[in-house]
Amino acid sequence: MKRKEFRFLFLSSFLILSILLSTLTLEAKVALTKEENNTEKIFLAGSATANITPFLGGGLVGNFGTPPPATNVHDELHARCLVLDDSQTKLVFVIVDNIGINRNVIDEAKRLIQEETGIPRSNILVSAIHTHSSVSAGGEGEKRRQFADNSQDFDEYQLFLIRRIADVTRIAINNLEPAQIGWGVGNVPEHVFVRRWKMKEPVLNPFGEYDKVVMNPGRNANLLEPASQPDTEVSFISVQSTEGKPIALLANYSLHYVGGTLKNDISADYFAVFADRIQELLKADRQEPAFVGIMSNGTSGDVNNNNYGAPAIRREPYEQMKLVAEDVAREVFRAHSAIEFQDWVPLKAAEEELNLQVRKASPSMLERAKEIVARPSTVKPNHRLEVTYANRILNMDKEWPDNIDIVLQVFRIGDLGVAAIPFEVFAETGMEIKAKSPFKQSFTIELANGSYGYLPTPEQHKLGGYETWYSTSRCEVEASTKIVATLLKMFNNIK
């Protein structure tokens, strides 16, 4: 064979061999990519509960005056956790049976969770349900502070709560299993009513000014109309095993709380009754691991269960919360039958701090407050809460900074968006977020990642009323507008 022919044959063989190797390498890469993609598309879910019932003897907060001591446990309080995992990202929901939890307590719990599980704090949502039958998670005695974002001086119950929030997350992670997920929405208008009523004649407030709106006005001739509209929807997320066994259901309803408890009873209100009832309806009793029903609080800062446009109905203790929970659970169960479960959906999370100006009383209002506090107790106040709010605005002026950073958070679960706000949010704000969200379905969890009081809209601020009073509403008048704009931007970033 001539040298040229040999060289040509050698080069041709080498070229063919190179092409074959490249093809095999490409096929191997494609196979590996397919295998990796299959691994990524395994969806997992796990849930758990941890008992957080406080010690008897603590004050039950939520009303004016001296908190009555807890002398009985009607139903145990819990931290209820749901963990979702798309094999790349984990999302954590922890819904806590408490009236409201300071940011420093939640931050410490998140620090532990991140340290012990590796889940970033941006992916951990911790919120309170706002029961008025729990002891404070804001500190007791000398440890109770108006503003405690940076404090590490925790009392005994706060330390217990921090540890249990971290523990319940770890237990839920231990319970992770291949799962399917779905979500839906129902409508329960019969139990949500705007508690702020416009009045025919303005009413004096504790600051010597006149409000056009009164919270819980009772039934009287001065009533004009409700000041806004409630959000009547109940949204929910449901997860089940690949064999169809219910794992957990997390619902969201914009109802402040129901009440109707005995004065000295610890209770998780209708939130706990719902959790138990939805378990029954889904036939998920006595499972291993146990099914976890969860009800989170939506945007209910101006909404409760009292219809002041109709005659009052007297109920026995705990009767009303059972009625509410039954109706909400049945509507969720009805809507649940129509949802389509998915084997895998993408998960994303984002967290952002927003700086807000603290809303403090004017110099003239502070001078008036000093005069009120200095008056003899024999002097009859012009308003029954005049002294209370004089002390509140003086303490706030002394203890609160001029600006605070709040945590805003969003989750993406497929085409579902979840927003988290650390205030008692008005219903119209929640409905605005739903209307403008880039996701097919959205809902908002309030009192999440902190607790800073009420969040009226600028329009509601103009009307006055309890939720707009200094120290009750602690941030600037435009706070809700800034929060909605930030959340919508964050939604679009994770879409």
Asked if 381 and 253 sit in the same domain, the reply is: no
pLDDT number for residue 40: 60
pLDDT number for residue 144: 66
Asked if 275 and 371 sit in the same domain, the reply is: no
- Would residue 19 count as lying in a domain? no
Q: Which of 455, 73, 139 is nearest to 302 (CA)?
A: 455
- Would residue 343 count as lying in a domain? yes
C-alpha 116/C-alpha 108 separation (Å) is: 12
Residue at 93: amino acid letter? F
The residue range of the domain holding 388 is: 361-398
Q: Which of 398, 420, 452 is at the close of a domain?
A: 398
Per-residue pLDDT for 492 more than 60?
Answer: yes
- Would residue 155 count as lying in a domain? yes
- Would residue 481 count as lying in a domain? yes
Per-residue pLDDT for 387 more than 90?
Answer: yes
Six-digit token string for 185: 């929405």
Q: Which of 340, 371, 398 is at the close of a domain?
A: 398
Contact 254, 433 (CB under 8 A): no
Per-residue pLDDT for 27 more than 50?
Answer: no
Asked if 372 and 226 sit in the same domain, the reply is: no
pLDDT in tens, 324-367: 999 999 999 999 999 999 999 999 999 999 999 999 999 999 99
pLDDT number for residue 479: 98
* Percent of the chain surpassing pLDDT 90: 86
Angle at 12 between CA 10 and CA 16, to 5 degrees: 120
3-state secondary structure the chain: CCHHHHHHHHHHHHHHHHHHHHHHHHHHHHHHHHHHHHHHCCCEEEEEEEECCCCCCCEEECCCCCCCECCEECCCCEEEEEEEECCCCEEEEEEECCCCECHHHHHHHHHHHHHHHCCCHHHEEEEECCCCCEECECCCHHHCCCCCCCCCCCCHHHHHHHHHHHHHHHHHHHCCEEEEEEEEEEECHHHCEECEEEEEEEEECCCCCEEEEEECCCCCCCEEEECCCCCCEEEEEEEEECCCCEEEEEEEECCCCCCCCCCCEECCHHHHHHHHHHHHHCCCCCCCCCCEEEEEECCCCCEECCCCCCCCCCCCCCHHHHHHHHHHHHHHHHHHCCCCCECCCCEEEEEEEEEEEECCCCHHHHHHHHHHHHCCCCCCCCCCCHHHHHHHHHHHHHHCCCEEEEEEEEEEECCEEEEEECCEECHHHHHHHHHHCCCCEEEEEECECCCCEEECCHHHHHHCCHHHCECCECECCCHHHHHHHHHHHHHHHHC
Q: Which of 334, 369, 398 is at the close of a domain?
A: 398
Q: Which of 152, 100, 86 is nearest to 128 (CA)?
A: 100
Asked if 178 and 164 sit in the same domain, the reply is: yes
pLDDT number for residue 141: 62
Q: Which of 426, 391, 58, 439 is nearest to 229 (CA)?
A: 426
- Would residue 76 count as lying in a domain? yes
Six-digit token string for 418: 């979840």
Asked if 342 and 476 sit in the same domain, the reply is: yes
Asked if 137 and 172 sit in the same domain, the reply is: yes
- Would residue 23 count as lying in a domain? no
- Which of 37-51, 246-260, 422-436 shows the lowest per-residue confidence on average (mean pLDDT)? 37-51
Per-residue pLDDT for 17 more than 50?
Answer: no
Asked if 193 and 308 sit in the same domain, the reply is: yes
pLDDT in tens, 246-273: 999 999 999 999 999 999 999 999 999 9
Average pLDDT of the segment spanning 28-38: 40
Domain count for the chain, please give it.
2
- Would residue 3 count as lying in a domain? no
CA-to-CA separations, 54 to 68, 133, 135, in angstroms, rounded: 14, 11, 7
Contact 134, 99 (CB under 8 A): yes
- Would residue 10 count as lying in a domain? no
Asked if 371 and 318 sit in the same domain, the reply is: no
Q: Which of 373, 375, 383, 372 is nearest to 469 (CA)?
A: 383
C-alpha 110/C-alpha 103 separation (Å) is: 10
Angle at 430 between CA 425 and CA 434, to 5 degrees: 165
Phi, psi of 224 (to 5 degrees): -110, -65
Per-residue pLDDT for 23 more than 80?
Answer: no
Average pLDDT of the segment spanning 137-165: 84
Per-residue pLDDT for 162 more than 90?
Answer: yes
pLDDT in tens, 86-144: 999 999 999 999 999 999 999 999 999 999 999 999 999 999 999 999 999 887 765 56
C-alpha 126/C-alpha 94 separation (Å) is: 5
Asked if 129 and 108 sit in the same domain, the reply is: yes
C-alpha 131/C-alpha 494 separation (Å) is: 32
pLDDT band for position 64 (cuts 50, 70, 90): confident
pLDDT number for residue 28: 40
Contact 336, 283 (CB under 8 A): no
pLDDT number for residue 410: 98
pLDDT number for residue 24: 38
pTM exceeds cut of 0.85: yes
Average pLDDT of the segment spanning 60-70: 88
Q: Which of 303, 291, 292 is nearest to 253 (CA)?
A: 303
pLDDT in tens, 176-225: 999 999 999 999 999 999 999 999 999 999 999 999 999 999 999 999 99
Asked if 178 and 280 sit in the same domain, the reply is: yes
Q: Which of 93, 137, 426, 77 is nearest to 265 (CA)?
A: 77
Asked if 74 and 143 sit in the same domain, the reply is: yes
Mean pLDDT of the chain: 92
Asked if 351 and 368 sit in the same domain, the reply is: no
